[in-house]
Amino acid sequence: MTAPRPAAVIILAAGEGTRMKSATPKVLHAIGGRTLLGHAVAAARGLDPRHLVIVVRHGRDLVAAHVAALDPQAAIVDQDEVKGTGRATECALDALPAELEGTVLVTSGDVPLLSTQTLRGLLEAHVASGSAATVITATLADPSGYGRILRAADGSVEGIVEQKDATDEQGEIEEINSGLYAFDVAVLRTALTQVGTDNAQGEKYLTDVLGIVRAQGLRVSAHLVQDVWETEGVNDRVQLSRLGTELNRRIVERWMRAGVSVVDPSTTWIDVDVTFGRDVTVHQQTQIHGASTIGDDVVLGPDTTLTDVSIGRGATVVRTHGSLAVIGEGATVGPFSYLRPGTELGAKGKIGTFVETKNAQIGAGSKVPHLTYVGDATIGEQSNIGASSVFVNYDGVNKMHTTIGSHCRTGSDNMFVAPVSVGDGAYTGAGTVVRKDVPPGALAINVAPQRNLLGWVHRKRAGTASAQAAAAACKDSPIVPEDSAILPEGNASA
């Protein structure tokens, strides 16, 4: 049997969210690497609705821009001055074709754990029962803040009462309205014209539709869900954190069941769009964000944060912060590495301790082991960059590129002043400042001859521990007198 397809899904995202106490609209706060609204859109799109409509008002331009980037096919509708979920839904219906038939689902932009599966269950139950309206409900031991489901003697839904309008007896009801509905679109259009604003808030409630529909003799059903997390909305930052923690717990558990070893789930955070291969090991205090892709047999962490990275099979990344980087198969990174956008490390390459890279392509088998900055550079295959090297890529105005060939060996404490190239198979000496291109197979050095100023400590640091140590070491040979001339190397004193 073919699963039913909704005529439309309407997502209500017009609320101000004053309890968030934020300049950012509530639906643009994020958990699991997506905004609250992003989660709602993903759940709705999973049903392949003929129309997707998002109602906006507070922070309208910010929310609309986010929707346009998130789902360009979604329709953006503005709610007018009339308040309430009923009016918001009415505005959305006005934007849909007048001849539209079938089922319309109404969801909320602040219920991030709601899944496509649960929405599909609502849709199927609604269609199978022949109902004009169906509401998702849940039972809570503490239903404070939620509208209560009013049941008729036969168990059907008689209506919904908001907490502010509830009597004391109604306030004791534990079955709550989730704010998630399925309606016959024609019935919904008609019923909304009969909804008024005579209530404590002076708003046009969508919940009033259920009583109107029932009064018309049409069927109103409840679709009770057991997973109450899917019905929980975000009203403040405490709830945002709670739902973020629960979402992460579910993501981590799903990947562990799929073959990923997570050493400490309580300190591991994985965004919803991250993907893993098999036999990955994730150590404690590791966060993997964005659309990162992790290959088979990779070891991550501890103490690692990665965003939008791609890691090949068998690589190891330890105590590293990285974003928009590519790490090849069998490569090693860290500890204490910083991979900035544009970093590409080839197969079996190495980026080591206290190394920072940016816009750097490092070839297969090449190593940048320690204490080095590589920016705006290309390094060939099987080359080794000496410790404490800096790729000097910025002159204060322009960024410029450095190229190191394959099978090169560069000395420690090198400065590569871009733009400059080092040819294949070339070497550079320790302490070299490379300002000119180095031909293939050449050795580049620019070290001045060393001079030893004999007796300097005896004259300039007399009485110090250094002077005493030097005197003890030289007790069998004279220290140069204070009035002796210090001449350049190769000359003799008179």
Cβ-proximal residues to 172 (8 Å cutoff; 6+ apart), any chain: none
Report the pLDDT value the prediction gives residue 484, as an integer from 0 to 100: 45
Distance CA 20, CA 448 (A): 64
Report the pLDDT value the prediction gives residue 200, as an integer from 0 to 100: 73
384 contacts 402 by C-beta, under 8 angstroms: no
Report the pLDDT value the prediction gives residue 480, as an integer from 0 to 100: 53
Is 370 one of the annotated active-site residues of the chain?
A: yes
Could you say which of 39, 223, 289, 370 is catalytic? 370
Tell me the one-letter amino acid at 291.
A
Report the pLDDT value the prediction gives residue 478, as an integer from 0 to 100: 62
Cβ-proximal residues to 26 (8 Å cutoff; 6+ apart), any chain: 15, 16, 17, 20, 36, 58, 110, 234
Report the pLDDT value the prediction gives residue 321, as an integer from 0 to 100: 98
Cβ-proximal residues to 176 (8 Å cutoff; 6+ apart), any chain: 137, 138, 139, 140, 143, 146, 147, 148, 149, 231
Residue-wise burial string across 247-274, b where 16 or more C-beta atoms lie within 10 A, e elsewhere: bbeebbeebeeeebebeebebbbbbbbb
Of the candidates 456, 38, 23, 78, which has an alpha carbon nearest to the alpha carbon of residue 273? Answer: 38
With a cut of 50, list the residues of the chain below it in pLDDT: 481-494
Report the pLDDT value the prediction gives residue 202, as an integer from 0 to 100: 80
Burial class (CB in 10 A: 0-12, 13-18, 19+), 305: middle
366 contacts 346 by C-beta, under 8 angstroms: yes
pTM over 0.85: yes
Dmax over CA atoms of the chain, in Å, equals 122
192 contacts 90 by C-beta, under 8 angstroms: yes
